Structures are given as structure tokens and as C-alpha cells.
Amino acid sequence: MSTPGLKQLRDAIPKHCFRPSKLTSLTYIVRDVSLSIGLAVLALNINSVQDCTARWALWAVYGIFQGMVFTGIWILAHECGHQALFSSRLINDSFGFVLHSLLLVPYFSWKYSHGLHHRYANHMEKDTAFVPFRKNETKFWSRLLESLHIAEDAPVLNFVMLIFHQLLGWPAYMLLNVSAGSQSMQRADRASSSRQSHLDPQGEIFTTQQLPFVFLSDIGLAAVLSGLYLAGSRLGFVNVMLLYGIPYLWTNHWIVAITYLHHTHPSAYHFEAERWNFRDGALSTIDRDFGLVGKHLFHGIIEFHVIHHLFPRIPFYHAEEATQAISGLLGDQYLRVKTSFFRDLWVTFTSCRYVEASKESPAVLVWSKT
């Protein structure tokens, strides 16, 4: 079977899949924001429950469900960053800026680095997210990871590490650019530069032209943090933590888990610079299943991520149709996993630790089996 190129794949997709619908996009935004507000209004009554156990159980359930709704809003803002929800760049960026800022995401800063991730997906030097360690690498972080992983039969230690991975992965990426490739910097020639924060208006992970928008992203975060402080002054900071902080942590968990499993699987390759190309990098991502929550609250980002990497300007509500149009052409090159999402998170985290050179394909890196 011949290998289809990008043009052949694009031509196989119905043309309307590339056209966003303003009404459909607005409907999803209004739906998700309204659902979030509705949940928060209902949660304000939880403290009137007399039984302590029931009260905290209700707060826990609220945190989980609101975290899922937050994640859906996060994904809508992400779509705006790809210019996928509206035909106007201004409208995309306006909605994306507001929605991401509300979730304490620096919209433009993340948009720029995420755009590079799509441009160089699975490139060992230029990708900006989840670039794996090479086996026997001497970097501090890889040595630390190796020292923590020496006890493979210690599930408790692995579980604790997974919790830290889920809770700290997002802030570590935002503040330190952790997991980015060594040549992913835009204004520095080495990954050891000290100015790699997504919040730094002079950060070297951005081009000079992008820096004013990085500053604007910080202003958005400052405005939301000020609003949360004022809300805490009126409602109580514990209540704000329960209403916003716990769902925020759940959202961080989902974003890290989803992104990690998009790009980490024994069948997903990484490439040296001389072997990498856009098509193969995009196809080394994985589609998975997450049931009703994945399709309706997470907007199919788990189920239809391969097509998103190939053609990121296809709106999420056309992703399933577009995937069906090209999956037959791709055959075995299309990676889809139908096992349990949570089981995959555990198995992947405890087994996919380092990449090494493939014995069959020059300049291709595969996950080490030892």
C-alpha cells in the first residue's frame, strides 16, 4: 500500500470539514460557560448541608465535574489558538484570550509554544512538549528520573511519581519549559537558557514580535487573579478554593494526562532532525477512547487527535468525519488504542521512560524496552 501524502489526505476530507460554523462554535462556548456557571451557583448551596461527611462529599463531586467542564472550556480556547472556531483571527484570539485567562492559562504565550509543538511534533530537538529522554542521557532531570525508577517493583513509588506528574506537570511546563526540545528556543541556541518561562515577557522561547502578546497574556492572568482575590474577600478563600481551585487542579490533571497519552505509546516514534518530516511526526500521535465524557465534554480531543495534528484548523466538531475519511488511506499508519484510558496512563507512565535508536530504521527512536 502506497504512503499517502498530505495533499492526498487533504483531498480525501470533505471540504466543509475545513470551514468553521460561527453559530456552532458560539453554541459550544455558551453551553460550556453556562454549564460551569450553573454548577458554581448550585455549589454555593453545599455549605448549607448540615452533615459534614455529605457536605465534603458533595464538594468532592462538584470539584470533579467542574474540573471536566473547565477542561472543555480549556479545549475550546485551544481551538481558538489554532484559529479553528471562527474564520476571523481577531474573534478567535478574543475568545481564546478570555477563556484561557479565566483558567489561568497565558493564552498567547501558550498559543505560540503550542504552535511550534504542532509544527515539529515528535522532532527530538525542536518539539516543545513531551520530548522524551534518550537512554543514558546525562541531563539532571533524566538522571533524577532514572534514580526514582530503579525500583520497578515499587508501585507505591510509581504512584506517587504519577501524582506529582499530574499535579506539577503543567506548572513546570509553564514556568520552566520542562519537556521542550533542546533546539526549541526562538531567541537562544541552547535549552539551558534561564529565560524559558511562558510568563516572562522577555522569554527566549518567543520571537521578538511575540513578546508584547506575552505581556498581554500576563495582564489577563493578573486580572483573573485579582478577581479571585476579591471573590475570596467576599466569599471566603476556602470557598473560592473549593469553587475554583480544586476544579483548576483537576483541569491541570486532565490536560497533562490527555497530552501525555497523545504522544506516548510503544508504537509512537520520535525522529532525529535528518529523518523528521511533518507528516510522520503528526502520524506518531495516538487516538484513544474516553466514552461520553471524551466526546461531549472534552470535545473529542482524546478520540480524534491524529487528524488535529495533520490539519489543526479543522474544527473539533468536524474531526470525527475527517478522521473517518482518511483512516482507510492510512491503514496501519493510523494509531488508535481502545483500551482503558486510566490503565494506559499507569502502564505508559511506568514503562515508557526512555527512547533509543531503532535497529530497523535509521534516525528513528523507539521506546526502550528495558
pLDDT means over runs of 10, the chain (370 residues): 85 97 98 98 95 96 98 98 98 98 98 96 94 74 51 68 89 91 76 80 92 97 98 96 98 96 93 96 95 95 97 98 96 92 91 90 87
DSSP 29-94: HHHHHHHHHHHHHHHTTGGG---HHHHHHHHHHHHHHHHHHHHHHHHHHHHHHTT-S-S-HHHHHH
* The pLDDT value given to residue 144: 53
Task: Kindly report the number of other CB atoms within 10 A of residue 267's CB atom.
Answer: 11
* The pLDDT value given to residue 138: 53
* The pLDDT value given to residue 1: 46
Distance CA 358, CA 135 (A): 12
> H or E segment at 364?
strand 364-367
* The pLDDT value given to residue 300: 97
Helices (H), the chain: 6-12, 22-43, 52-81, 89-102, 107-119, 140-148, 155-176, 211-235, 237-240, 246-263, 278-283, 291-292, 306-310, 319-330, 341-351
* The pLDDT value given to residue 183: 87
* The pLDDT value given to residue 192: 57
Q: Which three cell numbers stand for residue 21?
A: 460554523
CA 214: distance to chain centroid? Answer: 19
Distance CA 16, CA 13 (A): 8
3-class DSSP state of 288: strand
* The pLDDT value given to residue 179: 87
Distance CA 81, CA 61 (A): 30
* The pLDDT value given to residue 136: 73
